[in-house]
Amino acid sequence: MESTKQQHERHFHSALIVDDHPLFCDALSMTLGTVADIRNIKTSANLTDAVEMIAKGFCPDLIVLDLNLPDVDGLDGLIRLKNAALVPVVVVSSMADNRVITSTIRAGASGFIPKHSKREVFSAAIKAIRVGHTFVPDGFVLLDEAQLNGPVQSDVLARLSTLTNQQARILQLICEGKLNKQIAFDLTIAETTVKAHVTAIMRKLGVQSRTQAVLIAKEASFSNVLQERV
Do 14-130 and 145-227 come out as alike in CATH topology? no
CATH T-level assignment (fold) for domain 145-227:
Arc Repressor Mutant, subunit A (1.10.10)
Compute how many other C-beta atoms are within 10 angstroms of the C-beta atom of residue 111: 27
Whole-number Å distance between alpha carbons of 99 and 212: 24
Task: Tell me the CATH number for domain 14-130.
Answer: 3.40.50.2300
Pairing of strands 40-44, 62-65: unpaired
Q: What is the pLDDT of residue 18?
A: 96
pTM over 0.85: no
Which of 105, 42, 108, 48 is closest to 72 using CA atoms?
Answer: 48
DSSP string, 71-113: T--TTHHHHHHHHHH-S-EEEEES--SHHHHHHHHHTT-SEEE
β-sheet bridge partners, residue 112: 91
**Cβ–Cβ under 8 Å, residues 59 and 16:** no
pLDDT in tens, the chain (230 residues): 544 444 578 889 999 999 999 999 999 999 999 999 999 999 999 999 999 999 999 999 999 999 888 887 667 788 888 888 889 999 998 877 787 888 888 888 999 999 889 999 999 999 999 999 999 988 886 666 555 555 455 677 778 888 888 888 899 888 888 889 999 999 999 999 999 999 999 898 888 878 778 877 776 664 343 333 33
Q: How far is CA 166 from the centre of its chain?
A: 14
Dihedrals phi, psi of 2, to nearest 5 degrees: -130, 150
User: With contact defined as beta carbons under 8 Å apart, do 173 and 183 qualify?
Assistant: yes
CA distance 201 to 196: 9
Q: Give me the residue spans of the domains in the chain.
A: 14-130, 145-227
